[in-house]
Amino acid sequence: MSNQTDSEKVKDFFDQWNLYQKIINFNYMVHNEIFEVLRQFFDANFHQPFSLLDLGCGDAFYTARLLKDTHIARYVGVDLSETALGYANKNMDSISCEKVFIEGNLMEVVRDFQARFDVIIAGYSIHHLTLEEKDAFFGHCCTALKPKGQFLAYDIVRHPHETREAYLKRQWAIYKNNWTELTKEELMRLHDHIFANDYPESIDTLDELAKHNGFKHLKSLFKERNNLFELCCFST
């Protein structure tokens, strides 16, 4: 976010957890599909004990399901919302590993980390950063990874050459027409949030930022049918 006020706006929105929980429960942001792909990815790539930094972890409901029966040794969850972290702590109870939960701005937390991780996940969080902040964020993530580490990001993503304004209008039209379980009040809260705080980039821009900061490869693992959301793997 460009300043503390923006950060507080996002925090306030997600502290009203009932709305975001409703969005998750109805799978409006395709968490089910994304985490099925992530499960397959972890099964194929992590056969030894590993550490995970979860940036924008939310309530960690899906992450806890993802990490069940894996070789996770250390988990660190970071989120702006104290409410979400309270749920995350409970949802991760069943996972036997070292666990740390940190309330804070993901940019500041990943910048200041001394530990190194095998994998970083950022879920629906990078789009809250400005372009300049995204550039710095990729650098901090690359530094926070061990050699051959992997950064998995799922987020809202623009078409190539699509403007922010065009994306947000397209996004909002789909939300308004298809997210039918939300009340009018909830939809307006969501509208105000996305038009004030969402700054999605194209995959080409994210790839450019990643390579500028030390990542070597980008692989798209999943793209939602309306081309709103995408899951990508950035590797060092």
Distance of alpha carbon 183 from alpha carbon 26, whole angstroms? 13
* Segment 167-182, tens digit of pLDDT: 999 999 999 999 999 9
Is residue 154 within 8 Å of 230, Cβ to Cβ?
A: yes
**Topology annotation, domain 4-235:** Rossmann fold (3.40.50)
For range 100-126, the mean pLDDT: 93
Read off the tokens for 206. Answer: 């994210």
Report the pLDDT value the prediction gives residue 113, as an integer from 0 to 100: 86
Q: Is the dihedral of CA 94, 98, 103, 105 positive or negative?
A: negative
Q: Does the pLDDT value for residue 49 go beyond 60? A: yes
Q: What is the mean pLDDT of residues 42-62?
A: 95
Inform me whether the pLDDT recorded for 86 exceeds 70. Answer: yes
Query: d(Cα 96, Cα 158) in Å, to the nearest integer?
Result: 38
Whether 43 shows a pLDDT value over 60: the answer reads: yes
Q: What are the structural domain ranges in the chain? A: 4-235
Helices (H), the chain: 4-15, 17-25, 31-45, 61-67, 82-91, 106-112, 131-144, 164-178, 184-197, 203-212
Q: How confident is the model over 185-225, as pLDDT tens digits?
A: 999 999 999 999 999 999 999 999 999 999 999 999 999 99
